[in-house]
């Protein structure tokens, strides 16, 4: 594995098609880091980038705008328990991803891991699911940006669509280090805003705003800690908690993408596990504190939570701050939510293009997607994804927008499918090592509890996936669109799996045949240098990501 100097341009140039065929078939059929990745991609993502990219992906509209809906659905305690439960699932997913990615730091992350540890057809199905999901996610985020800008101006949304298509394309086609710096900056903004809103909420709750009385835990007593959802009594309260948990999954979505560009990350075997360990704790703390504070300052039956404008006015923090006479908060929140939406579109573009590149390495996508620029970006993948950004213009038509968002909802279950894939990969790795008599201590990164946490988290992911549309099965709540959006992703993944298995005749990889010992030898052959210790002011501000 080559660790290239970032100040030296990579030797890959556009159009070296003659070398692609030979390089593609080299290096274990693409199971390990290939010559293509070493020679044609640039390691432009540093440890701080990886840490903050994961934070940027997990802290977004779900936190700033969506917490009010969770409080309304499950009550303050129901929402808190729901987010805590999903937080523990995310913990298991992160540690499972860290262990496998440290052994196999390849482009496409868990998609390529699935081929190595389970079945090539499984990797193809998961990869195709991620690619098409991100093809729709980018224009969806750009459409959301248009709605957010309407909070300030009446200018045509078409103007903002054009601007952000260009900006997203420029970031996507630029050196990956530029993407890392932009996401690093956005993540810092989000962290600062979250900390500010948590402190502001606590001050308001304790009566620190002149003219506002102390709230305390008043709303936990009346209307109560739980909200009955669909049914009544304890069963209704449980359904409220479960509905919150279903929503919380999508608030945490994005943390799994930190390893998608592993072959473009400096020292990935050390930095990706480090990010998996530390990002989880920070994201969980932010969410748990935010849910706790929101549950204290906003009543679950507050009619203002029914505002579905899509901009800052629906944020529970804005609702309370406006009532307290703090006029600047709505604009500040709206501005940061815009950066969150654009950050999400950048992240979806990175994830979609790198998975597509990984599929091409394995021969599961046209080889033209292996073409890279001289600075190490798979430009054909970026151009392909950019073509779908223009779907955002559907936002200009209300009827077309309805259809568009219906299509986007189809990809929501893809988050749980991705998490399930990560956990299945890890379970297979553990079983294979046990079968081959290889101690887990030989892994570059391992934890004692992950062989037990992964099966439990996988059970929970499948349970949430299968019950994601449970409300449509209750009396008087049947909605065909909601049913399809909740469950269509499942048969699509199964169909892709069976199709590739039928066409290629692939077989599940026997546990005894998974070349784990060879992968461990790759780790030994290519040791990673230690990170230089930060000193002075870099050490002080490095507390955010170290």
Strand, helix or coil for residue 489: helix
Tell me which residue has tokens 């900390």: 195
Dihedral (CA of 429, 434, 437, 439) sign: positive
Could you tell me the CA-to-CA distances from 492 to 219, 317, 508 in Å, in that order? 43, 39, 20
The length of the chain is 546
Of the candidates 6, 21, 8, 11, which has an alpha carbon nearest to the alpha carbon of residue 370? 21
The widest CA-to-CA distance across the chain, in whole angstroms, is 74
Q: Does 256 score more than 90 pLDDT?
A: no
Dihedral (CA of 282, 283, 288, 291) sign: positive
Question: CA-to-CA distance for 445 and 270, rounded, in angstroms?
Answer: 8
Residue-averaged pLDDT of the chain: 81
Task: Tell me the helix, strand and coil percentages in the chain, rounded to 5.
Answer: 70, 0, 30
Question: CA-to-CA distance for 200 and 528, rounded, in angstroms?
Answer: 44
Q: Does 7 score more than 90 pLDDT?
A: no
pLDDT at 220 (0 to 100): 92
Average pLDDT over residues 243-265: 76
Contact 29, 68 (CB under 8 A): no
Fold annotation for 46-119+177-348+411-529: Amino acid/polyamine transporter I (1.20.1740)
Question: CA-to-CA distance for 64 and 47, rounded, in angstroms?
Answer: 26
Question: CA-to-CA distance for 240 and 82, rounded, in angstroms?
Answer: 9
Question: CA-to-CA distance for 91 and 117, rounded, in angstroms?
Answer: 21
For 20-55, write each residue's pLDDT tens digit: 333 333 444 556 665 665 556 666 677 777 777 777
Element (H, E) at 164: helix 157-173
Question: CA-to-CA distance for 430 and 445, rounded, in angstroms?
Answer: 13
Could you tell me the CA-to-CA distances from 199 to 67, 285, 317 in Å, in that order? 16, 14, 11
pLDDT at 121 (0 to 100): 92
Question: CA-to-CA distance for 143 and 140, rounded, in angstroms?
Answer: 5
Of the candidates 82, 173, 230, which has an alpha carbon nearest to the alpha carbon of residue 382? 173
For 480-513, write each residue's pLDDT tens digit: 877 887 888 899 999 999 999 999 888 899 999 9
For 504-535, write each residue's pLDDT tens digit: 888 899 999 998 998 898 888 877 766 666 66
For 318-374, write each residue's pLDDT tens digit: 887 777 778 888 888 888 888 888 888 888 898 889 889 888 888 888 989 988 888
Tell me which residue has tokens 């260009």: 166
Tokens of 108: 């496409």
Of 62-71, 140-149, 406-415, 473-482, the poorest mean pLDDT is in 406-415
Tokens of 92: 């298991």
Higher pLDDT, 262 or 104: 104
């Amino acid at each position: 594995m080559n660790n290239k100097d970032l100040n030296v341009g990579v030797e890959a140039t556009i159009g070296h098609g003659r070398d692609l065929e030979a390089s593609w078939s080299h290096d274990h059929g693409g199971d390990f880091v290939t010559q293509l990745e070493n020679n044609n991609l640039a390691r432009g993502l540093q440890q701080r980038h990886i840490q903050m990219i994961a934070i940027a992906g997990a802290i977004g509209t779900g936190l700033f705008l969506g917490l009010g809906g969770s409080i309304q659905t499950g009550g303050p305690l129901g929402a808190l328990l729901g987010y805590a439960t999903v937080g523990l699932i995310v913990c298991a997913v992160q540690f499972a991803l860290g262990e496998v990615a440290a052994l196999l730091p390849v482009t496409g992350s868990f998609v390529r891991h699935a081929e190595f540890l389970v079945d090539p057809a499984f990797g193809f199905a998961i990869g195709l699911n991620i690619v098409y999901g991100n093809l729709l996610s980018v224009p969806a985020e750009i459409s959301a940006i248009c709605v957010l800008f309407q909070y300030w101006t009446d200018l045509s949304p078409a103007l903002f669509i054009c601007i952000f298509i260009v900006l997203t394309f420029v970031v996507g086609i630029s050196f990956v280090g530029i993407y890392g710096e932009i996401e690093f900056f956005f993540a810092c903004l989000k962290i600062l805003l979250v900390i500010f809103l948590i402190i502001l909420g606590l001050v308001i709750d304790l009566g620190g705003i002149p003219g506002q009385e102390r709230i305390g835990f008043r709303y936990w007593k009346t209307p109560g800690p739980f909200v009955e959802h669909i049914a009544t009594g304890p069963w209704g309260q449980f359904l409220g908690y479960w509905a919150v948990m279903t929503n919380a999954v999508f608030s945490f979505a994005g943390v799994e993408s930190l390893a998608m560009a592993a072959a473009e990350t400096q020292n990935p075997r050390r930095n990706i596990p480090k990010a998996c360990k530390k990002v989880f704790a920070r994201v969980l703390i932010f969410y748990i504190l935010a849910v706790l504070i929101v549950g204290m300052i906003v009543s679950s039956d507050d009619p203002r939570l029914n505002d579905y404008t899509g901009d800052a006015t629906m944020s529970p923090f804005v609702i309370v701050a406006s009532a307290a006479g703090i006029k600047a908060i709505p604009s500040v929140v709206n501005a940061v939510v815009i950066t969150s939406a654009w950050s999400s579109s950048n992240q979806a573009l990175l994830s979609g293009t790198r998975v597509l590149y990984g599929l091409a390495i394995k021969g599961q996508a046209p080889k033209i997607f292996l073409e890279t620029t001289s600075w190490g970006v798979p430009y054909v993948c970026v151009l392909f994804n950019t073509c779908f950004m223009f779907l955002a213009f559907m936002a200009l038509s209300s009827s077309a927008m309805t259809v568009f968002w219906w299509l986007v909802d189809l990809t929501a279950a893809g988050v749980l499918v991705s998490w399930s894939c990560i956990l299945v990969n890890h379970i297979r790795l553990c079983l294979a090592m046990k079968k081959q008599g290889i101690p887990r201590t030989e892994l570059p990164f391992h934890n004692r509890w992950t062989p037990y946490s992964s099966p439990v988290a996988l059970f929970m992911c499948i349970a949430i996936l299968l019950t994601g549309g449970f409300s449509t099965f209750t009396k008087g709540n049947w909605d065909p669109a909601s049913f399809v959006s909740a469950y269509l992703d499942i048969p699509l993944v199964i169909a892709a799996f069976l199709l590739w298995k039928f066409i290629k005749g692939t077989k599940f990889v026997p546990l005894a045949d998974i070349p784990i010992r060879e992968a461990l030898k790759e780790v030994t052959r290519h040791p990673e240098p230690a990170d230089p210790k930060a000193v002075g002011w870099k050490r002080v501000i490095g507390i955010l990501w170290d």
